[in-house]
Every structure is written in C-alpha cells, then in structure tokens.
Amino acid sequence: MQKLIVNGGKKLSGEIHIQGAKNAALPIMAASVLCGGEVILRNCPRISDVYSAMRILTYLGCKAGFEDKNVAVINSENISAEGISDELMREMRSSLFFLGAVLGRTGHCRITLPGGCDLGPRPIDMHLSALRKMGVTIREEFGTLDCTAENGLHGAKIDLSFPSVGTTENIILAAVTAEGSTIIRNAAREPEITDLAEFLNACGAKISGADCGEIIIRGVEKLHGCQYTVMPDRIVCATYLACTAAAGGDIVVSGCRPSDIEIILAVFEQMGCIVHTGHDKIYFSANRPLKAVAPIRTMVYPGFPTDAQAVVMAPLCRAKGTSVFVENIFENRFKHVGELCRMGADILVEGKVAVIEGVNRLYGAKTCAADLRGGAGLVAAALSAEGVSEISDIHYIDRGYEEIEKALSSLGADIIRI
Ligand code: UD1
C-alpha cells in the first residue's frame, strides 16, 4: 500500500502548470463512444479515473490509450459489448456517463450501480427518470439495470428538480443523436458541462445554452471524431493554492482559468493571501498569518464548490478566529475532519456544519485519506504541520491528481511517496 510522507513547515515557491480537468475529461471520454471515429484529446490528465474510463472503453470494444504525455487517443469505430461489467462500474461514479453515451450509440446498455467516493447516498434516480422520458425502458434484475430504447431515443422536455451535474451530462449524451430536440431546464452550469458541450459540438452536435441553466440539444443523425483540448482543472488549481496558503510562500499557477474559481480566490483573499490574476495565470502569495473567513456554504456553480471544501478547510485550521463551512451538496463530506483533528486541528461537526477554531500549530500525525478531495486536504494540512505526517490510502488522491508529490516537490515541499 502506498503512502505519502510529508515533512511539513517548508514554504512553497515556483511555478506550477495545472493539469486537465478530471470532471471534464471523464464525460468527454464517454462521449467519444458516440463519435464512431477517432478522437484526439489533448491535456487529458494521467489519473487513475482516466485509466478506469479507458478500461471501460476497451471493454466496450473501442481502442483507447495515451499516445503522448497528455494526449489520449480513442477510436470508437467498433462497439461490441452490450453493457459494462460490474467490476468496471464499481471503479468510479463516472462509469455512469457511459449509460447515456452507449444508449445514444446502440439503443441498449446493461449496467450495475456505479461506485466512486463515499460522500453519503449518491442515488441515480434523476438519471434514470430523464432517460425514461427519452424513450428508455429500464428493467432492474438482481442489481443489474437493463436499459433499452426499443424505438430509439427521442427528445424530451426535462425539468430537473436539482441541477445535478452528472444528470445534466448524461441527458446531453443521450440527446445528441436522439430524434428531435431536448430541453433541459434547471440544468447544472458547471464549466465542465460547457466543456463537454463544446467537445460534442466539435464532433457535429448541436447544443446551445450549456452555461445558462437551460440547455437545448437538437438531435443530429451522427457525430464524427475531432481533436479537442480538455479545460484546466479548477479544483486541482484550488488545491495547490490551498497548499500554499497552508504552508506559506509565493507561487505562480499557469495554464489555469481564474474566472472559473473567482469565488474560491475571494476566500483566499479574505484569509489574507494576495491574489493577482492574468488570463491563464494566478500570482499567489501567503506570507502573513491567516485570518478566519465568513461562513462558506457549498452550492452549485457559480457558488462555492463542494469539491473545494476539504482543501480550503486545511489552511483555515491555522487561521486566527472561527470559520464555518455549511456542506449543502453531499450528506457525508466531512470525513477528513477527524484526520485533521489528529494533527491538532480544532473542528466541530454538527450535521452539515463544520466549525473550525483556528489553532497556532498543527503537528505531524498518521492520517488516512477517505475520499479524493478530503485526501488532498490532508496533504495541504500536512504541509503546514510541524514534523512528519503520513497519509495512507492515497489511491483516492490518485483518482484526481497527477503525481501530487512531484507537483508539490517542484514547489519545494518535502513530500515523498513510499
Ligand atoms: C459531480 C462531480 C463531483 C462534484 C459534484 C457536485 C463529476 C465526475 N463529479 O458529481 O466531483 O462533487 O458533481 O458538484 O463531474 N443526486 C440525486 N439523484 C441523482 C443524481 C444526484 O439525488 O440521480 C444528488 C446527489 O446525491 C448529490 C447531489 O444530487 O447530493 C449533487 O449530485 P450531482 O450534481 O449529480 O453530482 P455528481 O454528478 O455525482
């Protein structure tokens, strides 16, 4: 079992380039199934969830692999399987994107329930109800969902009760080659949805309104392959800023989109960090004692992202005063708190609220990642702690970060993987 060993207390400095976005690359890889040709994806992150998506593509009969460092090539000319094995479905939540894509391509797909980080109940009722509206019959037997669009998929008007990211993306995937038009109202507006829509439009789809909550998809007969560059990962960007806020130092983040994380940058400014942004760069300094911030409520985009909650909590553990997080998206997303307390943090969780009393120092401890972003939060806290910390179960962190230890070492952190 691999672990990260962090010797805390070293300030960070230098420049770091941000990897491509996991939450854009995964639905785009599923969308490649619809193209029936070659897709060349640049800026595709080499993370374990992307390798899981490649295994699903290969299982389905496509060709998928990395050609160069971050260039993935997918060829979906042939689709031979009628569904996805239980083992592959369990590897990640995003396996569910393949349902909409395979249905769009073949009209039939058999899956089991997806896996992924345990953030509390993660039902798929909204995905299934939308697909039913588009002409899909779903038979559930012994944990398997057998989904068939006997007369093909057709467009529909779909009002989402909550702007779910995955549901919005699955509907888009099913709708691009459906008969007629689909309108999604109260659609999620996360930037990764726009990236998926732009990729599909580059393949010949007709999608509009992907960033404004009402998405219109006019079905086309077929798509073709394309070359596409995946957007930068806004949560990875927030993570390296949080690491610097926690450890102190001055860094430049390049290849990012500051406009996607304005709300997170405002929180770092409240902490006392200095932030300057360029078109695709952030100049970031954290050289003063940090201050507590006004209550942070996680919300759908453009609100404060739930995925940044754990990483931003890490520097706040040592900020002077009391900070509060209200987690509104997932029911069980404070699993990192107990581990932060092992490092000396003073945090009280009551339901969906976490109250952080800033302490003067954190100290190194043995900790255990329990999900992807919570694990990254532990790394950020360990960088600011006195002494040596150990973070185990780092397979969670590897789901979303490309060699996190190398990225942080390049900024001067003392961190190794054993
Ligand atoms: C996506 C992101 C994840 C992020 C989350 C919220 C990807 C690959 N993952 O996850 O990193 O944390 O958005 O920004 O893009 N829900 C239902 N029924 C459903 C679907 C969702 O009740 O059928 C609920 C969920 O349990 C959760 C909430 O809706 O409480 C938000 O989920 P959703 O927006 O769908 O998140 P994901 O697509 O799973």
pTM of the complete model = 0.97
Question: Which of left, alpha, beta for 289 (phi over 0: left; psi -120 to 50: alpha)?
Answer: beta
Domain boundary (165, 196, 229) is at: 229
Sign of CA dihedral 354, 22, 270, 301: negative
Both 187 and 43 in one domain: the answer is: yes
- Three-state SS for 24? helix
CATH number, domain with residue 49:
3.65.10.10
The response to whether residue 162 sits with its C-beta less than 6 Å from ligand 1 reads yes
Both 220 and 267 in one domain: the answer is: no
Say if residue 115's pLDDT is above 90.
Answer: no
In whole numbers, what is the pLDDT of the chain averaged over residues? 97
Both 221 and 243 in one domain: the answer is: no
- Three-state SS for 21? coil
Which range of residues forms the domain containing residue 262? Answer: 4-19+232-417
Domain boundary (229, 256, 290) is at: 229
Q: What distance lies between CA 377 and its chain's CA centroid? A: 15
Both 408 and 360 in one domain: the answer is: yes
Torsion of CA 186, 188, 191, 195, to 10 degrees: -90
Give the strand pairing for 249-254 and 226-229: unpaired
User: Cα–Cα distance between 12 and 247 in angstroms, integer?
Assistant: 7
What is the 385 CA–ligand 1 centroid distance (Å)? 32
Give the strand pairing for 366-368 and 353-357: unpaired
Report how many domains make up the chain. Answer: 2
Both 261 and 357 in one domain: the answer is: yes
Q: Which two tokens stand for residue 353?
A: 């609220």
For residue 227, the tally of other CB atoms under 10 A from its CB is 12
256 classed as catalytic: no
Domain boundary (187, 202, 229) is at: 229
Both 193 and 316 in one domain: the answer is: no
Catalytic residue among 117, 147, 243, 256: 117
Question: Which of left, alpha, beta for 106 (phi over 0: left; psi -120 to 50: alpha)?
Answer: alpha
User: Cα–Cα distance between 221 and 199 in angstroms, integer?
Assistant: 17
Both 197 and 219 in one domain: the answer is: yes
User: Cα–Cα distance between 44 and 71 in angstroms, integer?
Assistant: 6
User: Cα–Cα distance between 391 and 376 in angstroms, integer?
Assistant: 10
Q: Are 246 and 289 in contact (CB under 8 A)?
A: no
For residue 261, the tally of other CB atoms under 10 A from its CB is 25
Both 115 and 206 in one domain: the answer is: yes
Average pLDDT over residues 81-87: 92
Both 239 and 223 in one domain: the answer is: no
Q: Work out which ligand 1 atom sits closest to the CA atom of 94.
A: 8
To which residue do tokens 């496509």 refer?
62
SS3 helix, strand, coil % of the chain, rounded to 5? 35, 30, 35
User: Cα–Cα distance between 177 and 203 in angstroms, integer?
Assistant: 11
Q: Work out which ligand 1 atom sits closest to the CA atom of 22.
A: 8
Average pLDDT over residues 9-38: 98
Please give the DSSP secondary-structure letter assigned to residue 400: T
Both 284 and 246 in one domain: the answer is: yes
Backbone angles phi, psi at 266, to 5 degrees: -65, -35
Q: pLDDT of 249-265, one tens digit each? A: 999 999 999 999 999 99
Both 330 and 298 in one domain: the answer is: yes
pLDDT of residue 13: 98
Both 147 and 26 in one domain: the answer is: yes
Q: pLDDT of 307-352, one tens digit each? A: 999 999 999 999 999 999 999 999 989 999 999 999 999 999 999 9
Say if residue 120's pLDDT is above 90.
Answer: no
Name the nearest CA neighbour of 242 among 367, 369, 336, 378.
378
What is the 166 CA–ligand 1 centroid distance (Å)? 6
If one residue of 171, 329, 352, 371 were mutated to test the ligand 1 pocket, choosing by the most ligand atoms within 8 A of its CB, it would be 329
